[in-house]
Amino acid sequence: MSLIEIRKRSLSIETIYHEGGPPAATPLRLAAACAVIHNPYAGRYEPDLMPFMAELRSLGTLLATELIEVLGRDNVEVYSKAAIVGVNGELEHGAVWHEAGGWAMREVLGEPKAIVPSAKAVAATGYRLMVPLHYIHAAYVRSHYNSMEIGIQDAPRPNEILFALVMGTGGRVHARLGGLTKDKVSVHDGQR
């Protein structure tokens, strides 16, 4: 029997043309794919979460593939992951997404080097979460530090978890604060 029971999914896309300055030659696109599932451990302590984490890889692949189809694999430059756990669950139920969601994005993107940033919370229905983003090949590319809001109005219910993956096509539209630029990444350690 599967531990993953999806109630609903959503796909949100933002297209940013400018942030008060001149319009970008190519608008920035950010997309979030979310899935709301029943929390199989809501209301009780489960010592072994590893089977849940392993099974969630398939959900991660589903969401990551959806983002790739929307943005184009070769266009993705930033990524992140998030979980909002309903109030009958615990933070660790969302932490299973670190491996499952991160693994899925790395797999569909061709093994980018940078760590996948994340955010998670235990919260009431309708909670919104700001998810940090950064460059997929080197975390220190300052122009690509950004965030996207995720959430669904009727989720997560107390016995649910909302899992999200976020990808985008570039850095901030008017980035001009110096630091490492993506064309200067040279160490290939996922950081510089």
Q: Does position 184 have pLDDT exceeding 90, yes or no?
A: yes
pTM of the model: 0.97
Per-residue pLDDT tens digits for 113-129: 999 999 999 999 999 99
Q: Does position 16 have pLDDT exceeding 90, yes or no?
A: yes
**What is the CATH superfamily name and number for domain 6-184?**
BB2672 (3.30.1330.110)
Rg (CA), the chain: 17
Helix, strand, coil content of the chain in percent (nearest 5): 25, 30, 40
Whether the Cβ atoms of residue 39 and residue 3 lie closer than 8 Å to each other: no
Give the mean pLDDT of the chain.
Answer: 97
Per-residue pLDDT tens digits for 130-148: 999 999 999 999 999 999 9
Q: Which of 167, 125, 165 is nearest to 35 (CA)?
A: 165
